[in-house]
Chains A and B, each alone.
Chain A
Amino acid sequence: GQQVMQIPQYQHVQEGEDFTTYCNSSTTLSNIQWYKQRPGGHPVFLIQLVKSGEVKKQKRLTFQFGEAKKNSSLHITATQTTDVGTYFCAGRNGGYQKVTFGTGTKLQVIP
């Protein structure tokens, strides 16, 4: 079945440093979504990428979808303590709505 892996599993950064998480799928994806889960909270949708090579920005967050539509990345510039949480990618590969969630990257920001 489809597998979606994320690296790294954990990342500790000093506040102000940049952070990147990578998402890799075993199969070609029709689209990819990113979610953020704050400690003790539930996942919240951030963005969706659909086109090959697509890049989208949300303030300090930059999302990329690979040319082959099998990988994606999330880059945060100048991290802040509010960025703390676990970031999940979720890819769709099929004729219906189900997406497969990645393994997640837990970000800790040290003030």
Chain B
Amino acid sequence: GAGVSQSPSNKVTEKGKDVELRCDPISGHTALYWYRQSLGQGLEFLIYFQGNSAPDKSGLPSDRFSAERTGGSVSTLTIQRTQQEDSAVYLCASSLALIGTGSTYEQYFGPGTRLTVT
């Protein structure tokens, strides 16, 4: 596609339910990132994928959060037993990543999924 897409755009769920957020990166982008942004706040790093592997999961706030990426493309972020403090916009970004070049590439962000836990 032309850009990074995320679905759903909005999700309202009850406390305690599980949710799954989806990210479709730009074709050919091997690096994929998940961030969380609370209202008026900065970007909180969650997890980074290089291909299907996740060399950095350090930002996942608790074991209720997990993410996977299959086929080097689509990624899903799953939040189990949602809590009210999970309410935020979840942003996905993708970039090129040529290993070994030392180059850093710009991240292209999706429109985000606004999660509201009631």
B-contacting residues of A (Cβ < 8 Å)? Answer: 1, 30-31, 33, 35, 42-45, 48, 88, 90, 92, 96-104, 106
Contact = CB atoms under 8 A, between A and B. Distances in A.
Interface string B83-118: 000000001010101010010111111111000000
A88 B43 CA distance: 9
A97 B103 CA distance: 8
B30 to A, nearest CB: 9
Given A42-B110, A45-B106, A96 B42 contact: no
Contact of B102 (A30, A42, A98, A102): A30
Contacts, number: 57
B55 interface: yes
B65 interface: no
B79 interface: no
Interface in B24-54: 31, 33, 35, 40, 42-43, 45, 48, 50
A101 B43 contact: yes
B56 A96 contact: yes
